[in-house]
Amino acid sequence: MIIDEKKEKTIRELLIEKDEVSLVESDGKFIGPNDKYEAHKYPTKLHLAISVWLFNSKGEVLIQKRSKKKIVGGDWWANSACGNVWPTETFFDCANRRLEKELGIKGVLIKPIYKFTYKAYGNQTYGEHEIDQVYIGLFNNQISPNPDEVSEIKWISFKELYNAFSGFDYIHPDQTLLLTEDELKQKTAPVKIKLKGNEYLLAPWTVLMLKNSQLYDAFKKLFE
């Protein structure tokens, strides 16, 4: 089989330029591609996404401060990597693409944990409405953050981060689906926490995941 490398490169470049998302029905059935900006404008459209949590051998989790260039969540702290699934790729492919794009990480072994559907307020123009596949993995090597995507990274104790939300009252993902834009602004605001003298303004989707025991259970299994 002869592959036209020039044509293949052109397709890849077009995908990167368009950066389309995968619109889906509530059951995850694919509807079609949509422009990233249009999908995130209110009223937001349901699309596929991934979230990755990377842990090191010390039991620490890698968190990142999102670049100011992000259309949603700029300057907020979030989990290791997030991203929208392109119409031409799987959840797994997207997770690996975003790890490389955001952090310069290749070949890390990640595994899926669970999916959840949610809405969240981002700013006056854009918000989130996603079916989000959550992944976890172990990683102890070098990280090369892309400044267009990430302004800062930090390894922190996952147990301390998780315990910071023990008993914390925050809306359940299912409840967000029923809220108006104004209600989302009030009930899915980013959350400011303080750990060892450092303050972090955490993105709402990161908080939603930290409130799910499945994430903590998966973390414990990594170290059994």
Residues marked active site are found at 82, 130
Q: How far apart are CA 22 and CA 30, in angstroms?
A: 7
Nearest Cα residue to 125 out of 191, 188, 71: 71
Q: How far is CA 132 from the centre of its chain?
A: 8
Residue 145 in tokens: 């953050």
Scored b (16 or more CB within 10 A) or e, 107-133 reads ebebeebebbbbbbbbeeebbbbbbbb
Residue 198, burial from CB neighbour count under 10 angstroms (0-12, 13-18, 19+)? exposed
